[in-house]
Structure 1
Amino acid sequence: MVDFKIMGNDIQHLYIELSPGEKIYAEGGHLIWKSSSVNIKATTGGGLLSGLRRTITGASFFVLELEGPGAVDIAGFAPGRITEIDLSGNGIMVEHRAFLAMEPTVNYDIRLTGLGFGWLGGEGLLMARLQGNGRVFLHAIGDALMLELGPSDSIDVEAGHVLAFDEGMKVGIRRVGGLRTMLFGEEGLWLAHVEGPGRVWLRTLSRQQIIMGLMPELSRIARST
C-alpha cells in the first residue's frame, strides 16, 4: 500500500513512498523531487477523453504518473494545507486547481455545478469529480476546514472559499442583503448556498484574497525596478 505522509506546518508538502509497481497520479507542476528509481510519465489518466475533460475545467491535459520503487515529494502552488480524503466508493466535487494527487483506483471526471456557483467563485461552471475506492489529496490555500452537515443543515459560503463537497449535495447561489450590501459589502451580492446531508471542505483564503493582499507589495516592487 502506498505510504502518504503530509509534512510541514504552514507550507505543507506530500511525501510519498512507493514500492515496486505502485503508482500514484499527481497534477503536473507540483513535483518537488523524486528518487531516480521512480519512473515518471505524462498521461491523460484514462485516454483522450479524460484529458479533454480535464482541460475543460481549466486543469492541464496531462497528469503525472509516478511509479515506484522510491520516494516522491509534491506540494501546492501557494502556502497552505493538504487535506486527505478517503473516498471509499463515494464521489466528491472539487475545485479543479485544488487537486494535488490521487491513487490510481480513483477516477477523474467533470461535472457542471449549479448555474452561477462556480462562476461567482472565479473558477468557472465546471468542477472536477473524483470517485472511486482510494485516497485523494487536495491543497487548500491558508487552512482547510471540514464541516459535516445534517439533513436539515445548510451554510452560506463566500464562493471562493469552497474547496470540495460530497457529490449529491444541493449547491446553489443565494442573494445577500440589498443595495447597500451590493455597493459596500466586501463579499458582493451572492454567496454559495450548500445544503446537507454531507461534508463540505473550505479553505480559509481565496485566490482573490491572496491576489488583493499582494497587490500593494507587487506595485511597490514594480516601481522600484
Structure 2
Amino acid sequence: MEYSILGNDLQLVKVIMGDGEGIYGEGGHLLYKTPTVNLTAKATGGILSGLKRAVTGASFFVLELTGPGEAAFAGSTPGKIIQMQLGDGEAVLAEHGSFLFAENQVKYDVNLARLTAGIFGGEGLFLAKFIGPGNLFLHGTGHVHMIQLGDGEEVEVEAGHLLAFDAGMQYGIKRTGGLRTMFLGGEGIFFVNIRGPGRVWVRSISLAALAAALSRDMPCPASCRSQVQETREPGVTFRI
C-alpha cells in the first residue's frame, strides 16, 4: 500500500491499495473512494469490542475497505495527521476520537479500565488500543508534538490535550490544586500522569476548548438567553 499525507493545517491522507489489500476506519472520516474499492461494515474485534466503542461515543461498526483502488480520510477539525508504523506486538493507546484508519492486521480495542479519566477529566478520555504489526493513522486537533521520555521520567498532560502514548507506560489521573483552583482555574485541573520510558503525543488544542470557543461566538436564540448569564472577574468568566 502507498500513503500520502496532504495539506498543512487541514490535512487528509490518501491511500492506494493493491488487489486484495485492505484497511478499516471510522466512517465519519472517509472522504472518498474509487468504485473498485469494496466497502463493508463490520464490528472489528467482535461484538464486545463494538459495544465498548459505542459506550465511548464511537461507532459500533467500522468500515472495511478492500482494494484495488484509492481512498482518503481526514479529521473533522483543523489539525495534523500522524502515521504510526507498529511492529509485531507493538501497541499504542490513543484517545478514541483520534482514530482515522489502520491496516487490517492491526488489532483495535477500546480500553475501559480508566473510566474515571473520562468522568473526572471532563474531556471524555477513553483510550483505544492498537496492536501491530501495521500502519495506523491518527488525527490531532491543532499541532501534534511528540515527547520522548526516558526510564523513570514523567510528564503530566492536561487530559484534553492527550493524543496517544506507548502502551507499556504507566499512567493515571492526577488532580492539581484545591477546590478554589478546581472552580476558578478552568483547564488544567486534571492531568494524565505518564511515566517513561516511551513516547507521548500531545495535541495543542483540546476538543472541549475548541467547542467552548466556538459556542461563545455563535448567536444565542431568544429561548436560551434567559438561561445564559455571565459574571466577569479579572481573567475569569462564569457561564451558567
TM-score scaled by length of structure 1:
0.90
Give the CA deviation at 1:31.
1.2
User: Is 1:12 the equivalent of 2:2?
Assistant: no
TM alignment of 1:82-93, pairs within 5 A? 82-88=81-87, 89-93=89-93
CA distance in 2 between partners of 1:33 and 1:129 (Å): 26
TM alignment of 1:51-200, pairs within 5 A? 51-88=50-87, 89-114=89-114, 116-119=116-119, 120-124=121-125, 126-200=126-200
Give the CA deviation at 1:34.
0.9
SS in 1 for 2:25: strand
SS in 2 for 1:213: helix
Maintained 8 Å contact 2:34/2:71: yes
Give the CA deviation at 1:58.
2.3
Structure with the greater alpha carbon radius of gyration? 2
CA distance in 2 between partners of 1:173 and 1:114 (Å): 9
Q: Which amino acid aligns with 1:83?
A: I
Give the CA deviation at 1:215.
1.4
User: Is 1:26 the equivalent of 2:22?
Assistant: no
Q: Which amino acid aligns with 1:45?
A: T
Give the CA deviation at 1:181.
2.5
Q: How many residues are aligned here?
A: 220
Maintained 8 Å contact 2:150/2:198: yes
Deviations 1:133-175 (A, max 9, x none): 0110001011111111111211111100001111121111223
CA distance in 1 between partners of 2:190 and 2:163 (Å): 17
Q: Percent of aligned pairs with the same residue?
A: 45
Who is 2:43 aligned against? 44
TM-score scaled by length of structure 2:
0.85
What residue ranges of structure 2 are gaps of 5+ in the alignment?
223-240
Give the CA deviation at 1:52.
2.1
Maintained 8 Å contact 2:45/2:109: no
What residue ranges of structure 1 are gaps of 5+ in the alignment?
none
SS in 1 for 2:219: helix
Cα RMSD for the two superposed structures: 1.8
Who is 2:208 aligned against? 208
Distance 1:87 1:93, change over 3 A: same
Which consecutive segments of 4 or more residues in structure 1 shift more than 4 A? none
